[in-house]
Structure 1
Amino acid sequence: MVIGSDTVFERNTASAAYIPPTTVFDDYPSIEFASISIGGLVPYHPLNNYDINFTGGTPTNVYRVTYYGNGNNGGEAPPSQLYAAGVTVTVSDEGTLTLTDHDFLGWNTSSTATDAEYEATDTFPMPARDVDLYAVWKATPPTLYTVTYHGNGHSAGDPHPSAQYAAGTPVTVLDENTLERTDHEFLGWHTDPTSETALYSPTGMFNMPANDVDLHAIWKAKAPVLYTVTYHGNGHSAGDAPASSQHAAGDTVTVSGKNTLVRDGYEFVGWHTDPASATALYGPGGTFPMPANDVDLYAIWKAIDPSGPQDPDPKDPEKPGSDPSGKTPTSSKTGSYAKMARTGDEMSILPFAAAACASLLVGGGAYAMVRRRNH
């Protein structure tokens, strides 16, 4: 007879030049083959309409186990197989099935299952019905790449911790967190630590490449804060104090001289931050480190001894002072110098004093003689 694709036989005798694998015939020992061309049959495979002579027995229905890729994007599922009810089924592996970025876990009778009911080589008794087995896939954990933030010369604080992203994931760039750098402002981030401009600003975005990314803080030097040194005449009678100057904190300041400042009856001795000081804190050419604040320097004056040489008053050259000829003046009794009102020539007052005394003596004698005559 011609055997149907779903027909098997029980309790039949068989004789042939070639016997298929014994597992086929353990339960079916009495099949008589009319042809030897059916060699290589697998257990319970349909007999593909080969002519087989048999001496008796009743054909038994078989049921199909079918494998499904269930979302695969590559390969083929294993071929379906036929089994009689109660026969032990050995579950196949995934064959050539693949699904990108997923691992094959096994098989389940539900297409939506996330766990495998059967793994390759597991067994189960064939029920009296068809069985559909669906591949169960689990997403492969993506390879993660790291974004690391670097302070790049910062003087204080910390950047945000590094973070990991899968390739292709959008990355939102973070801010500087607590990073600081003295006298610098934060511009953003760059993959090149020597760049002077930022490639990414905080909240900027880029797609994560398939490699780690190092972001370096980019800093711009701030214009320094300048503080002013101001000079004050502090009671001067003429002239001008030196011009003020500006310096950054920490700079070395060289102290100026008095410029054209003068004060009647005083000599300049230096500068002090206290206008009431009797001594100088800094002399011309002295230095000090500029503090982070303005500095006021006041001229310090010392009274000149009136019995010693004096500088002429620049506002009134007629006032006594040092003899322009270089002579040292004496007291009024012994030789002070004066100027003639009309000519301005210098002359000693001693001759005038002598003449006045002589006149007094002569006048006094004449008065005495007149008086004697009258008596």
Structure 2
Amino acid sequence: MKHKLINYGKKTKKLWVSAIVVLFVVAVAYSQIVKAQYGTDKVSSGTSYPGNGYWTGVSINGPWGTSTIYFTVTTNKTYSGNTFNDKSRPLYINVKQTNDNPYGMKILDTSPSTYRNASGKNYSWFNLKIGYTVPAHYYHSGEYFDTPSVTSAAHQVSNTAGHSTENHWVETTIRMSAYDTAVATYYDTSAKKYYRYHDCHVTLYLWGRNQYKVYYNGNGGGISESERTFNDGDNFTFPNAWREGYSLAGWRRDNDWGDWMGTGWVVCSTDYSAVAQWTANTYTVSYDGNREDSGWTADGTATYDQNFTFADNGYTKKGYAFVGWSTNKYATTADYSPGQTITWKSTDKLQLYAVWEKSSYEVSFDGNGASGSKKTENLAYGKDDRLPANTFQRAGYTFIGWSEDPDAIKPKYTDGQTVNTLCDAGQTYELYAIWKKSDGSFDLHNLIRDDAMFQGDVEIEGGNKTGFSRDHIDSEYGRIDKNNQPGYFTDRYK
């Protein structure tokens, strides 16, 4: 309890000045408290006076400003000498409100009576009962008595309110002295004179707020501050927080399952622990067919720190086999395989390209005069592979092989021959069936060259005396003998 005590006459005059008093004096000035400075009056011999206009003030000082009530205290008659102190006397309080009264202060009992003081000799104390509103989260932090009471025991405030989360009404009792309120006189034995005090003042302070700490837990992430100090009733604030691959979802009290906290929360009566809550970021994984012929593969979504499985390939490319997925469009080897599962640790989207390798080429087979449409077969690229067996048929002809030239007489490839990479992957290599007539005659569309037919000195003549020169060594001149059109046969066809 903070107070100042001045005694006169037999009372030893003392002044207690301390850092606490100085603090309150500064506070009083800061809050613009209306306060009086008590004084003394010399009075005629031995008379205790009824109050005659000397004011006593009570102030409530806090964050809303100051409520002050001035009042006078009177008795029901005049007492001689010290007879006022002989027994309990009725008092009468006359109130005068002097300001806007932001705390709604009231004097609750205007007819108190005196009772024995601490010495037990004099009936000089009385209780001043007041009521007022205390702001939420504030508490009674002390009082200052600008009074000259005989003992500090007279300076007492009881029934002050504690902390509350709401504005709340408080009823308080202030122990006062009849001397402080100019009701009674005192006798100065050294001066042999009677005096009385006037203009005393009591100030109650409501500006106290406890301080509490909020401790921050990054919960796997970084934070700019690990703790902050708040006054009771302050709204919460939070530090910067970060975590790779995550976004801050907010803060929970005490743990991952506590109440969500926010700036609308109020610090109240305790320390707190705030635990950061995180939401894992998601990232798009896109798949590019990389010059595919057809097909489609849907995008995927990867979540940080969670498993992600790469999509199966939905693209096709003629003559190529799918190898896997790569971040490099021109890669020949894959970074990831379809169905492969990884723990996602990237903080960016991912673009993947299909990786292809040459796998086959197409061979087209034309019947070259046979009935039926063309047929195709895929052969392995870069490896030995066999041509498929011929399935074409042509009336009057015998199949003898395949050639790129539909007019060839001799085939380049035999039926079922082993070949290796006739063209590039994805390309088509065209072959034509080569036929000979089943009766041994020549087919002008399937001629053979026989450069040994007309060797030697023999002149060959047709039946009509038409002859061939030795320059004619190609079988295209060979004919079955007909009128005016001689021909010949060769056993090289057999």
TM-score, length basis structure 1: 0.49
TM-score (norm 2): 0.39
Which has the bigger relative contact order, CA under 8 A and spacing at least 6?
A: 2
Q: Higher strand fraction: Structure 1 or Structure 2?
A: 2
